[in-house]
Chain A
Amino acid sequence: DGGITQSPKYLFRKEGQNVTLSCEQNLNHDAMYWYRQDPGQGLRLIYYSQIVNDFQKGDIAEGYSVSREKKESFPLTVTSAQKNPTAFYLCASSIFFGTNQPQHFGDGTRLSIL
């Protein structure tokens, strides 16, 4: 079955450390997205990519970085500049950016500070 795989499911970050969250999709979708979910705030867009080798900042990009070297993969790095990284991170994809088709979501990575 096609879908989105996020790993790891749980991740702990030490002070001053960068950590990378993995997102892989086998849906052959062009567009991919990273969201941050905090209780009571819904989903906020961190970065998105419309196509390979392209990505754009979302609403809360500060302290995060991404790459899109392959169509299937869109890893997110949470840098030490992100002072409040504790959250649930969701990766999503859609067939192309701006489609009226829904986004497909992975099962998330929960990041905590040690």
Chain B
Amino acid sequence: AQSVAQPEDQVNVAEGNPLTVKCTYSVSGNPYLFWYVQYPNRGLQFLLKYITGDNLVKGSYGFEAEFNKSQTSFHLKKPSALVSDSALYFCAVRDITNDMRFGAGTRLTVKP
């Protein structure tokens, strides 16, 4: 069965600095990978996905993610963090069985 891990419960960065939120996965076959963001008392909002093709995926709000097959990773990145980026971020993976698995989430705090 597929699984996804977000090794950091919490990531703190200063505004204007680059940010990285880590995600590693385990699947049979080729993965479909997703990043979502959740603000307090709201549902998840889709940021970006990797299906196939370029390893660097660009998404909403200036976020991007790098797919690394050899390291089975799909880290979320942004060159310059904003205070408004503070939220809970979820990585998710789907494989050929069509089950979607979510990571436990990483809380990002961007300090002014």
> What is A's interface to B at a CB cutoff of 8 Å?
4, 6, 9, 35, 40-43, 45, 90, 92, 97-98, 100, 102-108, 110
- The A contact surface, by secondary structure, is loop
**How many residues of chain B have a CB within 8 Å of chain A?**
21
Chain B residues with Cβ below 8 Å from A90 are 43-44
Q: Tell me, rounded to whole Å, the shortest Cβ–Cβ distance linking B47 to chain A.
A: 9
Given the contacts A100-B32, A102-B34, A42 and B103 also touching, CB distance less than 8 Å: yes
Q: Using a Cβ cutoff of 8 Å, how many contacts connect chains A and B?
A: 48
Chain B residues with Cβ below 8 Å from A108 are 41-43
Determine whether the beta carbon of A107 is less than 8 Å from that of B42.
yes
B9 within 8 A of A: yes
Determine whether the beta carbon of A42 is less than 8 Å from that of B90.
yes
Across the two chains, which residue of chain B brings its CB closest to A43? B102
* Docked complex Cα distance between A9 and B48 (Å): 27
Determine whether the beta carbon of A97 is less than 8 Å from that of B102.
no
Chain B residues with Cβ below 8 Å from A102 are 34, 36, 46, 49
B104 within 8 A of A: yes
> What is B's interface to A at a CB cutoff of 8 Å?
9, 32, 34, 36, 41-46, 49, 51, 90, 94, 98-100, 102-105
* Docked complex Cα distance between A92 and B32 (Å): 18
Determine whether the beta carbon of B104 is less than 8 Å from that of A110.
no
- Given B41, B90, B94, which contacts A110 in the complex, CB threshold below 8 Å? B41
Q: Can you list 11 A-B contacts (CB < 8 A)?
A: A41-B104, A42-B90, A42-B103, A42-B105, A43-B44, A43-B102, A97-B98, A102-B34, A105-B36, A105-B45, A110-B41
* Docked complex Cα distance between A105 and B42 (Å): 9
Determine whether the beta carbon of B43 is less than 8 Å from that of A107.
yes
* Docked complex Cα distance between A82 and B98 (Å): 27
Most chain B CB neighbours (cut-off 10 Å) among A35, A43, A107: A43
Given A6-B43, A42-B103, A97-B98: 14 more A-B contacts, CB < 8 Å: A40-B104, A40-B105, A41-B104, A42-B90, A42-B102, A42-B104, A43-B90, A43-B102, A45-B99, A90-B44, A100-B51, A103-B100, A107-B42, A108-B41
